Structure 1
């Protein structure tokens, strides 16, 4: 160290690789720094792991997307071809195996060369490794000052680098230092480390690099952009030949190998594989990918701040296995494209989400837009998910109005209170006044007079709760709500994940029973999955497991499943919702082939939102159709090549549900729903103990359309 310091003090020339400073300035800086600076610098230099690529995978292990701040794959020295190791030593530090981290002879050569008008660096490979590590530490900590200090053309920076290099050589072997350098340095304008660079330029591993390929990569470290063989093949070839010459001079290759390398042309070597980072590479699963990103960025499991969590994703080398079922994802996308294809002239948008009951695992998520920013050629492209909430890439408005699909929460509370599905309600339109409502959570709320209407005069009169559900009779549900506490309904919905964007229960206005609030397809699919799971609610989850760069399993967001309503009441809801899929219900087109299903249609006032949410014991699915830029009608137009005079939940979402579910469940066992009594007053016929059949027999006549006055 003393020898190095004296050389630097006396030479007053080049201090760092690739730049020179006036001799007077250097001498002054050295004098000011003095030997004291060496004593002040810590002896320990902790070699951190360089940033690595994080990979997001589907449940079957297939890759969905990858994330990185630097496209890098860390490998051991054994997995790097000896020719690559030799090439980097030949071109960067011929005395690497002789010096102890700093090369006094190299410093003298650099001083003499630069004093005579040349340009030669004095940094050893170890010093370059130190500089790369310091820069990487600054990047990982988002510390611009540390990055600048690691690159500053100052004597202080050079002295620190020298001290660290000397310390490093005392703690690590030459092989460890070489391995670290080959993994951290840039070997291309968009790749870091030899493995990612070999995969990019040659489409094979660094272990299989030839002599010519090694020379090409080793030549890039000096100026990756300037020597990029894709953009500047002539410059890259000239640089490669120079590296081959150095390898020959250092006796790393024979004369024949040298000549063979010179005869190798750039075009014959390249087999470029571009690696695209982010959700844009995930195809139809891009919006599911965004949901996964949201899970990481919004959970304190992965860091105290969002910035820390983002850094972990971009630099942590995580292996993230998700809940996505590739087969069901394909079925979902195929269904969307068959009914409302991307770029359809109608500009109608559609989204589909599937969730596994009892686990909360999101199995599919698709919509009819391309992921990305809108362009002239693709004006509907967007990064906004129509399925998810704002924290998971969705709309700030927290989704879309669900219409009559919200009635199911009133039905659930009805059964939760021990009431009967055979209770007869007065469904003749009339006015409900403030005094008709119980709103315990907001006793100061006094709703204005409200006069809900039915979709068709045939629905007027007297109908059972089962019939009210099958035909989606608005006034019947208003009367049911008047017999309960509005707050109990909004709280039960919240317990099932249907809330305002803040997470609070929706406002307890009576008209909420007809779906005037906004929610997301994920929330609705998961809420209905709660009925399929006999009243067990699970928070939606998109991640099954995460393995960190060291091979350790990390914690992941939990589904936190819990019983939010009685199993009997949930099963009663299910049997009642089966009536919706009968010929006397609003959604017969959603009935599945050869297996029982339950569900509910939903339509808003002006036919501007249409839904179907349904399920079997194994799978719950929500389908939404509407416009993403505002609420305006979808009826009286062609959508996906089909003309729709009306746009109820039965018209488009229901047949989409059938198409998707038949495909998604093909080959899976047929499972039945639990059979329970729907309460007092059941018919005394032989069908009275068969919930689904009893519902069919008791449902009134209906034309199959959903209600048209779902919000007020």
Structure 2
């Protein structure tokens, strides 16, 4: 009784003020005071800012020239419509059911309010009586609350206070609502208020506005609503939780009622529509006979609706959530994304996406009994940075229960950096060797230049970033027989580890890192790239999209464009919003990039590690990568039009990808060529490709130098001479030679050969075991035999044995290096005849 009395007194004050302030609609609208008791009411704020309604955001992809919806996001499923896009039945049902005197009052229905006061006293709580305008005001205030973040305890408390202030049952709140309503009626027409109300009202669950409600409950539009459908929807507004009709087994106050409660309210509204002559008797009779038969049509939301493109969708969403353009912090950006009604037009090419999805699904199973493995195909446009495709072997889900129950699903985008929903990245193996190539050419070395690829221990590397590295590092190769002297082209074609470490030992590890960074390379976690010697062979953890971007830069004459996934954004009002843009940087000089491209054509050709991949007839570069123990595999390739990366690897556990056969009866190591052949062939088929520019000869052949004759020099003298000519040297084994023991006996390449600067010249030293064959041709046989015998040679004669015979030829020939004791064959002429005595007379 005490509570009812207090409520009565409070609401009586409200009613009294309203009677004073709004005896007639005209007085309420003009705000003319009848007496001083209006002072308290007039002191309340009148202006209410009506913010933009929360609307769904839609992401689009490219299907040829068409932009097609990929996924929709919303906190409130709302599709705002104009006044003329709502059927007359919808408008009439709202007015008849909620505010019959809507077009005659000034924002507050005095009769309804007084009735609400009496109901309050009878029921012991503040009851209805709110006009459509008042309900509109309450919803506008509530919308402001819904935009607030609710993560922390303080935020939740602030949100709840806002809701209480907007929807509470206190007389104070009711007064403010009424004052705002009078202000709204001064600013807007009745039709504007009515359509605003129908667009903002809640229709149960996450369905807001009459258009979304018509689609969800009846699979129709607001413009096509029949009287029965319109009244059924307006009925939900009265009690959204208990009167919504998407569950026939719903309960109210513990009792199952199916659609009965909605029908009861619907028929009441229909009766009011008939009472106010908005329906004929026939229309009314037909409507009330119509059963409640919803056609529930859910509006699916989130990236899981994007199928195989879900990870690209997730990437786009993370781009927005990381961009300050859309809010000061992640909470604000999330609210903007889910409520802003944006149309986000992306770069995704559904033709290539389809090929990527089918290919990755064919070669990398979503689950595998021996290990948890992942696979990614992703590609970009070199001259724009536009991401064209992004496919993953795992099915996308954000449901913890699903993720915990099956390795088929993942919430992690394995193609991207961690801050975009990706992983911590993966070691990239030999694909990282391209950055040693970049520095090699920048420093003036050539593609034809040789290096010492023998297995050896290194103790020092130059590193101007972190101080020179010292220690012991002994790299090996993937296969035996790859040692020896190799030029840069051979090292690249066959991906020889020891050759690239040898090249890096002549360079600065810091500069190699800077070259990688210039091509947009960074770790997936955002940590600095390592610069230790093993990093040359790809030990940094990098995302596939990053490697595709770097190879795109090589193919684009050395200009790298950062990846972008969004072409344009339009807000709910149709106004363009600034989308993240690409940034293109000249990573290396075009001449260097073009030489890199020439080198990287090698792996795709005969004898290369990805031999046979390119069957398009277009220039294509590429590089394989295999980490230690064969647990991460890569193949990155590019034309001038499309660059793509393929990664397959262990997520958990470990399998050797050369010893398992999950699909096609072949190992992933062998299959990667087929995977990228399929993907890049499709890319070339749609986008074509141009020839890579021919690099300058100084970077392919290098500056030519003639190797000098170093015979007889000490090894140190020989190395000094070679260094002065810009040539490198390597020690060869001792060999039989006429040169003094320990001196240079020969070189490879031989003296007089034209070679590129930087070429490794192998120096052979003499063991002193040979002598030069003496020249005895033209001597008398006796003299020649005596000389050769004295020198330790065995002599054999041909053509006679007269000591006076003349040596016509010898074998071995004069000056031929031979060992002492060797046999010499002498070819002799006939001996000279004795003189004939003169005759007597």
TM-score, length-normalised on structure 1?
0.88
- What is residue 374 of structure 2 aligned with on the other side? 349
Runs of 4+ in 1 over 6 A off after TM superposition: 29-34
Structure-1 separation of matches of 2:521 and 2:687: 29
Match of 1:190 among 184, 188, 206: 206
Distance (whole Å) between structure 2 residues aligned to residue 335 and residue 136 of structure 1: 46
Contact 1:183 / 1:195 at 8 angstroms: preserved in 2?
Answer: yes
The answer as to whether partners of 2:347 and 2:387 remain within 8 angstroms in 1 is yes
Q: CA deviation at 1:635?
A: 3.2
- Spell out the pairing of 1:17-166 with structure 2 (5 A cutoff): 22-25=4-7, 27=9, 37-59=40-62, 60-116=66-122, 121-142=128-149, 143-144=158-159, 145-166=161-182
Q: Deviations over 1:348-398 (max 9, x none)?
A: 210111100011110100101111133576333111000000111101x2x
- Of 487, 491, 497 in structure 1, the residue corresponding to residue 514 of structure 2 is 491
Shift of the 30–500 alpha-carbon distance from structure 1 to 2, 3 Å rule, reads farther
Q: Distance in 2 between matches of 1:467 and 1:484?
A: 19
Match of 2:448 in 1: 422
After alignment, is 133-142 or 317-326 more displaced? 133-142
Among 681, 684, 690, the alignment partner of 1:665 is 684
2: CA distance between counterparts of 1:641 and 1:344? 14
Q: Measure, in 2, the Cα distance between the counterparts of 1:678 and 1:240.
A: 85
Q: Give the number of the structure with larger relative contact order, counting CA–CA contacts within 8 Å between residues 6 or more apart.
A: 1
Provide the rounded CA distance (Å) in 2 between the counterparts of 1:115 and 1:227: 26
Unaligned runs of 5+ in 2: 18-36, 150-157, 249-258, 704-755, 757-841
Matches within 5 A, 1:287-436: 287-346=311-370, 347-372=372-397, 373=399, 374-375=402-403, 378-395=406-423, 397=424, 399-434=425-460
Cα–Cα, structure 1 residues 424 and 222, in superposed 2: closer, same or farther, change >3 Å? Answer: same
**Structure 1 residues 161-172: aligned runs within 5 Å:** 161-172=177-188
Q: Distance in 1 between matches of 2:665 and 2:112?
A: 77
Partner Cα distance (1:652, 1:605) in 2: 18
Match of 2:590 in 1: 567
Q: 1:348 touches 1:634 (CA, 8 Å); kept in 2?
A: no
Of the three residues 246, 251, 254, the one matched with 2:272 is 246
Residues 603-622 of structure 1 mapped to structure 2, 5 A cutoff: 603-622=626-645
Structure 1 Cα separation of the partners of residues 442 and 490 of structure 2: 18
Asked if 1 retains the 8 angstrom alpha-carbon contact of 2:413 and 2:422, the reply is yes
Could you tell me which runs of 5 or more consecutive residues in structure 1 were left unpaired when the two chains were aligned. Answer: 1-11, 14-20, 685-697, 699-712
C-alpha distance in 2 between matches for 1:36 and 1:424: 96
Q: 1:522-565 CA deviation, whole Å, 9 max, x = no partner?
A: 10000100011111111111111000111110111110112121
Whole-angstrom CA distance in 2 between matches of 1:285 and 1:410: 35
Which of 288, 309, 323 aligns to 1:262? It is: 288
Q: Report the Cα offset of residue 212 of structure 1.
A: 1.5
Larger radius of gyration: 2
Equivalences for 1:426-505 in 2 at 5 Å?
426-434=452-460, 437-443=461-467, 446-501=469-524, 503=526, 505=528
2:228 is aligned to 212
Q: Which secondary structure state, in structure 1, belongs to the residue aligned with residue 71 of structure 2? A: strand
Mapped contact 2:417–2:525 kept (Cα < 8 A): no
Q: Distance in 1 between matches of 2:40 and 2:449?
A: 88
SS in 1 for 2:395: coil
1:308-336 C-alpha deviation (Å, 9 max, x unpaired): 11111011110100111111111110110
Q: Could you say if the C-alpha distance between residues 678 and 243 of structure 1 is closer, same or farther in structure 2, counting changes exceeding 3 Å?
A: farther
Alpha-carbon displacement from aligned partner over 1:134-158 (angstroms, at most 9, x marks no partner): 0101212435032221122211111
User: How many pairs align?
Assistant: 656
8 Å CA contact 2:59–2:343 kept in 1: the answer is yes
Indicate how the Cα distance of structure 1 residues 117 and 516 shifts in structure 2: closer, same or farther if over 3 A, else same.
closer
C-alpha separation in 2, matches of 1:26 and 1:679: 98
Paired with 1:36 and 1:652, the residues of 2 have a C-alpha distance of 83
Matched-pair contact (CA < 8 Å) for 2:592–2:695: no
Please give the secondary structure, in 1, of the residue aligned with 2:512. helix
Which of the pair is proportionally richer in strand?
2
- Whole-Å Cα distance in 2 between the matches of residues 502 and 683 of structure 1? 39
Q: Identify if the C-alpha distance between structure 1 residues 500 and 341 changes in structure 2 by more than 3 Å, giving closer, same or farther.
A: closer
Distance 2:204 2:486 in 1: 73
Task: Answer yes or no: is the 8 Å Cα contact 1:345–1:639 preserved in 2.
Answer: no
Q: What is the TM-score when the length of structure 2 is the normalising length?
A: 0.75
Two-structure CA RMSD over aligned residues (Å): 2.4
CA distance in 1, matches of 2:404, 2:420: 27
Alpha carbons of 1:667 and 1:515: their partners in 2 closer, same or farther (altered >3 Å)?
A: closer
What's the CA shift for 1:104? 1.1
SS at match of 1:348: strand
SS in 1 for 2:685: coil
- Pick which of 304-313 and 622-631 moved more: 622-631
The separation in 2 between residues aligned to 1:680 and 1:297, in whole angstroms, is 45
Whether the 8 Å contact between 1:591 and 1:658 is mirrored in structure 2 is yes
Following the alignment from structure 1 to structure 2, what is the Cα–Cα distance between the partners of residues 560 and 680? Answer: 28
When residues 28 and 85 of structure 1 are mapped into structure 2, their CA distance, relative to the original with a 3 A threshold, is: closer
Whether the 8 Å CA contact 2:492–2:599 is kept in 1: the answer is yes
Q: Deviations over 1:667-704 (max 9, x none)?
A: 543522222235356399xxxxxxxxxxxxx9xxxxxx
